[in-house]
Amino acid sequence: METIQNLLSGFFLLGGVFFFATATIGLLRFPDFFTRLHATGKGDTLAVTLSLVGLAIHEGMNVTSVKILMIAVFMFLAQPTATHAISRAGVRCGLEIWRKEGEEKRA
């Protein structure tokens, strides 16, 4: 039973590390504020959720794992809301959306 628990928690933790890494690559490679925010918003939300679920599984069924899962649910709800607020602030500040060279601006 303990080996299954370790394998499952390791799977979730590795998934979290993978999504953190891909979000970081998106942050470094994408051309503008909005695409970078999209990459990090989606990737970090999933990475934090997977990592916290992995930690809760590793901890076993006790009060600590319930607290960890409550934090995971809060982060799953709060991070997209924060990403939306940040992108809306970017729109209000007048940040332009990146376009390929030669592409015309649409109405």
How many structural domains does the chain have?
A: 1
Residue 104 falls inside a structural domain: no
d(Cα 38, Cα 92) in Å, to the nearest integer?
17
Question: 3-state SS of 59-106?
Answer: HCCCHHHHHHHHHHHHHHHHHHHHHHHHHHHHHHCCCCCCCCCCCCCC
**Residue 26 placed within a domain:** yes
Q: How confident is the prediction along the chain (107 residues), in pLDDT tens digits per residue? A: 689 999 999 999 999 999 999 999 999 999 999 999 999 999 999 999 999 999 999 999 999 999 999 999 999 999 999 999 999 999 999 988 888 776 666 65
Q: Tell me, yes or no, whether 101 lies in a domain.
A: no
pTM: 0.84
Range of the domain at 23: 2-92
